[in-house]
Amino acid sequence: MTRNNLLDVNVLIALTEPGHKHHERAQEWLRSPGIGRLGVCPITEAGLIRVTTNPAYRPGPRTMEQATAILQSLQGYPGYCYWAIDESWVTLTAPLAARIFGHQQVTDAYLLGLAIKEKLALVTFDKGIEYLAGAEFSENVLLLE
């Protein structure tokens, strides 16, 4: 069964950063059969740029131009998709409200809410997103381990 996927920021960075500790695992998943459409949204695009251009991220961080070029190159990937966010945080996270406990879940909840709305799997290395999804939305999370 093919599934459509929204890349979490951590997976997006791992896929595009050869020195990342999860790069090989992310690449292995990307090469697996039947992954379906592969996409990003405004939050994950901004996250990639924010993290990889931060001087604290690694010695010699990417320039803004380099980070932007990486996002543009993803558009050529077969099955690439861009999911716009046209709903408020409150609306998209409503199904998860009972499991949102702190500030560190704000972005995760928004991405998972988008995945639920669009019938996607949020592909992530973050085990906490499984808790956030609960049994009800477990099909909307693909945890890479």
Q: Per-residue pLDDT tens for 103-141?
A: 999 999 999 999 999 999 999 999 999 999 999 999 999
**Is the predicted pLDDT of residue 13 greater than 90, yes or no?**
yes
Q: How confident is the model at residue 34 (pLDDT cuts 50, 70, 90)?
A: confident
CATH fold of the domain at 5-44+79-143: Rossmann fold (3.40.50)
Q: How confident is the model at residue 35 (pLDDT cuts 50, 70, 90)?
A: confident
Q: Which tens digit of pLDDT belongs to each residue from 68-109? A: 999 999 998 888 999 999 999 999 999 999 999 999 999 999
- Res 61: pLDDT: 83
Question: DSSP character for 59?
Answer: S
- Res 1: pLDDT: 61
3-state secondary structure string across the chain:
CCCCEEECHHHHHHHHCCCCCCHHHHHHHHHCCCCCCEEECHHHHHHHHHHHCCCCCCCCCCCHHHHHHHHHHHCCCCCEEECCCCCCHHHHHHHHHHHCCCHHHHHHHHHHHHHHHHCCEEEECCCHHHHHHCCCCHHHEEECC
H or E stretch at 80: strand 80-82
- Res 33: pLDDT: 85
Predicted structure pTM score: 0.93
